[in-house]
Chain A
Amino acid sequence: MTISPNLVRLVYVSRNLVPSAEREAAVMAILGASRRRNPAMGVTGALLFSEDCFAQSLEGPMAAVEALYEHILLDERHDQVVLLEAAPVSQRDFGDWSMAFAGHCTQATLRFDTLVATPLDSSRRVLDVLRGAVGRAAKVLA
């Protein structure tokens, strides 16, 4: 992926409403949909979920990210969407991934209430977790 002049990144966290028994299937469905749809939009990103929340980073052309965010916002599998960050960036973190999956995170710091309390710190923390997980996955795949 090349650097686009209007490249933006969005990081949100939301409350996960999927019952734990159905969580894995739900996440797989989300990832499948993302991988089908995102390449055409030029959007890449990564997703994680914890006990009570989803956290996702989307990066791509401004208009595509905005449209995708609005679409995601209306999904009934989550609510209380909090935008941790929305800003122009010079490069992508997950350029190789239509939607990387960082898995099920159990750290206490990735609980919904903790994350929304300090949006800017949380954005960095979520991105670190996503990058770390994706980096490890890349090594395994290499």
Chain B
Amino acid sequence: MERIIEASPDRDRGPALCAACPARIPTDALTGLVDRSAFRARLEVALAGWQPDTPSPAVLMVDLDRFKAVNDTLGHPAGDALLRIAAKRLRAAVRSEDLAARLGGDEFAVLLAAPVSLEAAAKVAERLVELLGRPYMVQGQAASVGASIGLAFAEADCSTVDALIGRADMAMYQAKADGRGRVGFFSPMLQERAELRRQTEQDLRAALPLGQLELFYQPQYELALGQLSGFEALLRWRHPLRGLVPPDDFIPLAEEIRLISSLGEWVLRTACTEAARWPGTMSVAVNVAAQQFESNRLVGIVAAALQGAGLPGSRLELEITESALLNDPGGSVTAQLTALKAMGVAISLDDFGTGYSSLSQLRSFPFDRVKIDRSFVDDVAVVRAIAAMGASMGMRTTAEGVETAMQLKNLRREGCHEVQGYLLGRPLPASAIPDTLARQFVEATLLKEDT
């Protein structure tokens, strides 16, 4: 087939940066496209020649989807060959006055240097997504990747190289988040979201030193004896401007920025100190994130927290989710859990039923307890199955999120050992615990009357 849409892909469409200095344009050795520094220099020129309130240059950030899989399965030489072909397709699809660049890795960019309309720029971007997503033949084999593209225009408040590239990047990440293989458009909302995230990240890093973190404690009840058995410690962030920030708004972020281990260490120390004030055998349950196992320091941290608080190990329970065990090829997590168990600490598997709910994982360690996720509290069949499984494997079961007397009744009937939820008690600040301890017999009556 002969007739080619725009131009032969083989025709060299190298950039003409400036007629007077044709010699040394920095190019990317692999693809022959200009490199990051040349792209930035050319963008600088385009922005310098642009007047606000006139049609503006645009930047497309192009990131290949699933490129790593090509490297992993076909090898790096095949990956490099694919990048060379992708570069040719890019060059074939842009006008001679535009500039295609490889910024690094599988990241490309296109500068639409001459002013274009939104529609025209979007059309170029859509076409690139389509072209780059067509199947590749590399080293005699078929390979496929996709492309996510972010599009941003120069504007009065975005007329520097960094600002424009930053906006196009934001749009590209949005395209990835929206499912890849598509064009993302910069919008002020994206900027607001990115700024909020950046601000939250900065505030979160300061939260611990500034004393903005608190633990709340949710009561847990033992059904057979009908009495308070302990509390689960829950992390809360009291932001000076935003008030109490919900855990879902900061714990995933803390994991992402790898702050969770230092927060977790503080939680352990604080919870143990608090629990040491409680009477008898009352226990405290503390959530431990997967990252806390990575440095191999967890056992020492827990031992120090127990010792510092004077709390016996048997009154501490650590809750881990399946994700902590998922990536444990060397058995390091299991080894740490075994050492913790040897200190008398109980280990429970949290949120069971929402993840892989893998039986082999349940068997990989002798958990003391399985916690049934709150989303199943109304599903009698699931509760029954997990409780029976727990019983036959010698594990206790706790149901979370109990809100009605009916749920409580069902959970008791299906053989759950412990329950927690708003019906029996919301998470409380440490200062409210003495009151709850005094009232525990009232609640015990509620539990008994239920039968």
Contacts and interface: CB of A to CB of B under 8 A. Distances in A.
28 contacts: A6-B140, A12-B135, A29-B2, A30-B1, A62-B140, A65-B140, A66-B85, A66-B138, A70-B9, A71-B4, A71-B10, A73-B131, A73-B134, A74-B6, A74-B9, A74-B89, A74-B92, A75-B3, A75-B4, A76-B3, A76-B5, A77-B1, A79-B130, A82-B135, A83-B142, A86-B137, A86-B140, A86-B141
Nearest to A81: B134
B328 to A, nearest CB: 37
Interface in B109-166: 130-131, 134-135, 137-142, 144
B88 interface: yes
Interface pairs A-B: 6 shortest CB-CB: A75-B1, A33-B2, A83-B135, A86-B142, A8-B140, A83-B142
A33 B85 CA distance: 23
Highest count of chain B CB atoms <10 Å: which of A8, A85, A86: A86
Contacts of B140: 6, 8, 62, 65-66, 86-88
A69 interface: yes
B141 A87 contact: yes
A75 B5 CA distance: 6
Interface of A: 6, 8, 10, 12, 29-30, 33, 62, 65-67, 69-79, 81-83, 85-88
Instruction: Specify the main secondary structure of chain B where it touches its partner.
Output: loop
Interface residues of B, number: 24
A65 to B, nearest CB: 7
B8 interface: yes
A121 to B, nearest CB: 16
A15 B8 CA distance: 21
A29 B2 CA distance: 8
A76 B92 CA distance: 13
B88 A70 contact: yes
A38 B130 CA distance: 27
Contacts of B6: 74
B137 A69 contact: yes
A100 to B, nearest CB: 15
Nearest to A7: B140
Contact of A81 (B10, B135, B138): B135
Nearest to A79: B130
A66 B10 CA distance: 13
Contacts of B131: 73-74
B92 A85 contact: no
Contacts of A83: 135, 137, 142, 144
A132 to B, nearest CB: 23
A131 to B, nearest CB: 21
Contacts of A67: 10
Given A30-B1, A65-B140, A74-B9, 15 more contacts: A62-B140, A66-B85, A70-B85, A70-B88, A71-B4, A71-B9, A74-B5, A74-B89, A74-B92, A75-B5, A76-B4, A81-B134, A82-B135, A83-B142, A86-B141
Highest count of chain B CB atoms <10 Å: which of A65, A73, A75: A73
A10 B143 CA distance: 12
A139 to B, nearest CB: 28
A75 B2 contact: yes
B141 A74 contact: no
Highest count of chain A CB atoms <10 Å: which of B3, B89, B135, B140: B140
A66 B6 CA distance: 20
A80 B9 CA distance: 18
Contact of B137 (A10, A33, A78): A10
A87 B140 CA distance: 6
Nearest to B92: A74
Nearest to A56: B1
